[in-house]
Chains A and B, each alone.
Chain A
Amino acid sequence: MDFFGPVLDGFGTVLDPTNLLYCLLGVVIGMLIGVLPGLGPAATIAILLPLTYGVEPVTAIIMLAGIFYGAQYGGTITSVLLRLPGEASSVVTVFDGYVMAKQGRAGTALGIAAIGSFIGGTIAIVGLTFLAPLVASFALDFGPPEYTALALLGILLVATISGGSKIKAIIAAALGLFLATVGRDGFTGAERFTFGNLSLADGIDFVPIAMGLFGVGEILYNLEERHRAVSAPLKVANVWPRRQDLKQASGAIGRGSVLGFFLGILPGGGATISSLASYALEKKTAKDPTRFGKGAIEGVAGPETANNAAATSSFIPLLTLGIPANATMAIIFGALLIQGVTPGPQLISNDPELFWGVVNSMYIGNILLLIMSIPLIGVFVRILRIRAAILAPITALITLLGAYTIRNSMFDVMLVVMFGAVGYLMKKFGFEPGPLVLAFVLGSLLESNLRRSLLVLEGDPSGFLSRPISATLLVVFVFVAVWPMIKSAIDQRKNRLVAVQAVKEKENA
């Protein structure tokens, strides 16, 4: 019972009424902001970070879990009702979800997405409960060289797996690593790149960067893009899926849960890949694949289940290795650091109450999401009917005033606005903000471990290769660095094949 004792204690923490209330608050606010067109989960969590300040760590983390799930589901709502995916992982939901909405089955699509997300998330949490301690115990032996290699690999994976230019993503990551060096050097005490500015002496805070790049950056971008907007959202009726719908979707939900869990553990965009993979799998296993794209309920249930399962299992590398797998996880990582929690292999053994509190708060977040989403869908539809012209200044004010309340500092607010401009310009010039934020979060960890390794290895870089784990990680690092070139060659061949297939399909039709 050694194992289950702390797990069950964690439930005690989570079920405390205050914590439940905060979780509920998180889910609702997360959905409210996440449903605003153009704001994906990363932006939503960034904007809402100030909410978790001044609350006890466990409560704050539970609230974060709520915000996380709420924000994810907010993206699904816009996919189905507006044909606007909140983020890459709900793009495939648009294919069948929006068609279902046009057929008057929007409620069914949203309902099955909520149920699928709940099941996928729950299965992934159960998996996490058993797998996380294993990974963590394995990682306990990691020394500075292993951490250096792991952090390098994590940054590279996120940079190369994101869409768009790989070179630009690496530049963004380098920029993030550089920003992390601003402030006093922990080893020598030298002031770096502060230019005598006292506010910079302690380094740049994570929150203004995240709020600026993701929050204000998106808001500014949407000011420009709004003219592309959008018909009114479709009507929603009968939210509870019929028994027949549930039966039809159950296979997709089951497959999506397993697929999503395993793909989500891999670093770099797990949720997106798993939603695509699930859609492809459903289409392949269906008796009548032509129904897909015409309102097939499996086309919504499978991907939505898979992306939630993946989003949950991507907590495994974060909580056990201290390596966030994607931009959203990087923001959660930053939020945990602010609460004084350093995710890593020691977390389970040193602070089991907190660790299992975090894990179990996901169950609660998931259940509350299911309970809240269905009755609240009417409210969200009403929010979607409010014109963007009115919502935009409200989100801008929430972000600015929220940024001020963190430390009562106008300097922070100025940083948020400045990084907002940087985020907007990055987007216009084809640089993804995700790798920057991730690299910034990992920057000081990477630098201190690299310097410690060099001290241990007496300045001999080949020492990294004499240790089996760091050597393996570095080999993978090199492989990932070269992979895009191999992959583009394969893709070209595949494209040709797909083109041929499409021609054949047309002939058959």
Chain B
Amino acid sequence: MQAKHVERPPVPAAPRAESGPVQPEDDSSPEALTPEELAAQWEAEAPEPAGPVANLASSLVVLALGCAGMALSVGLGLGTPAAPSAGMWPFIVTLIAAVMAVVQLIVGRRGGQDGEKFSAMSWYTVIGFATLILMVVLMPLIGFEIPALLLCFVWMRWLGGERWRSAALYSVLVVVAFYAIFIAALGTTIPRLF
């Protein structure tokens, strides 16, 4: 029944304090002890920052959105400061976004410390997102039971690394429990098959 998801990233063993506080027990995983060591260990475990390409891409997306927003706002009419029209406020807001995007483009050109690089594990998120979309599309057509069952199974078996048998068993249990709570007990109108 053990999940196989424990792909520990190589954590550099935290340097132990010389004063050696109480800490026997398991030596399999290095445990940081002082706040400073713990902070250092978190830093080491933290994913890499997103980097310059991501900064360029995200700044350009914001810039494009900002410009599009400004164009649409102008289309709505700006009015004058004394009698602002519908487009004035969105224009100001999107202008701020666009200007800030240009600033970020320059300030963050070497990447900076924020964000996180995509990793191979990011595909898990893509698959997870796809199942959520599938569920939203299928729910009105065939009710929530089968899509929910599929979602649970995919998330448990492939995204979570459960075994076939336990994934199937728990998926069925979860869907039955949701049916009992949302349909039988609360009487909501969630689209359903049965």
Please list the residues of chain A having a beta carbon within 8 angstroms of any beta carbon in chain B. 83, 92, 94-95, 99, 102-103, 164-165, 167-168, 170-171, 174-175, 177-178, 181, 185, 187-188, 190, 192-193, 216, 219-221, 223-229, 231, 290, 292-295, 387-390, 392-394, 396-397, 400-401, 404-405, 408, 410, 413-414, 417, 420-421, 424, 427-431, 447, 450-451, 454-455, 458-461, 502, 509
Contacts and interface: CB of A to CB of B under 8 A. Distances in A.
B58 A103 contact: no
A404 B189 CA distance: 9
B160 A388 contact: yes
A430 B112 contact: yes
A181 B90 contact: yes
B58 A95 contact: no
A460 B87 CA distance: 18
B161 A389 contact: yes
A290 B122 CA distance: 42
A389 B159 contact: yes
18 contacts: A99-B33, A164-B114, A171-B104, A175-B62, A181-B93, A226-B5, A226-B124, A293-B35, A294-B22, A389-B162, A394-B152, A397-B152, A401-B182, A421-B129, A447-B89, A459-B80, A460-B81, A460-B82
A400 B136 CA distance: 8
A401 B156 contact: no
Given A220-B128, A389-B156, A390-B156, A401 B190 contact: yes
Contacts of B23: 102
Contacts of B80: 459
Interface of A is mostly: helix
B101 A430 contact: no
A361 B100 CA distance: 42
Contact of B136 (A177, A221, A294, A417): A417
B86 to A, nearest CB: 4
Contacts of B178: 397, 401
Given A221-B125, A293-B34, A454-B81, A389 B160 contact: yes
> Which of B54, B108, B115, B174: most chain A Cβ within 10 A?
B115
Interface string B161-187: 110000000110010001000100010
A174 B114 contact: no
Contacts of B140: 410
Contacts of B84: 451, 454
A413 B140 CA distance: 11
> Which of B72, B100, B119, B189: most chain A Cβ within 10 A?
B100
Contacts of B139: 404, 410, 413
A170 B95 CA distance: 12
Given A171-B101, A430-B114, A192 B128 contact: no
A221 to B, nearest CB: 7
A294 B132 contact: no
Contacts of B89: 181, 447, 450-451
Nearest to A170: B100
B142 interface: no
A229 B45 CA distance: 11
Contacts of A294: 21-22, 33-34
Contacts of B132: 216, 396, 400, 417, 420
A390 B97 contact: no
A168 B108 CA distance: 10
Interface of B: 3, 5-9, 18-19, 21-23, 25, 29, 31, 33-36, 38, 45, 49-50, 54-55, 57-58, 62, 65-66, 69, 72, 76-77, 80-90, 93-94, 96-97, 100-101, 103-104, 107-108, 112, 114-116, 118-119, 121-122, 124-125, 128-129, 132-133, 135-136, 139-140, 144, 148, 151-152, 155-156, 159-162, 170-171, 174, 178, 182, 186, 188-190
> Which of B55, B108, B129: most chain A Cβ within 10 A?
B129
A509 B128 contact: no
A292 B19 CA distance: 13
B108 A455 contact: no
B58 A429 contact: yes
B31 A102 contact: yes
B82 A459 contact: yes
B50 A430 contact: yes
A224 B122 contact: yes
A414 B134 CA distance: 10
A500 to B, nearest CB: 15
B69 A393 contact: no
B94 A404 contact: no
Contacts of A290: 19
A502 B36 CA distance: 10
B116 A178 contact: no
A302 to B, nearest CB: 14
A223 B128 contact: yes
B82 A175 contact: no
A393 B174 contact: yes
B88 to A, nearest CB: 8
Nearest to A451: B84
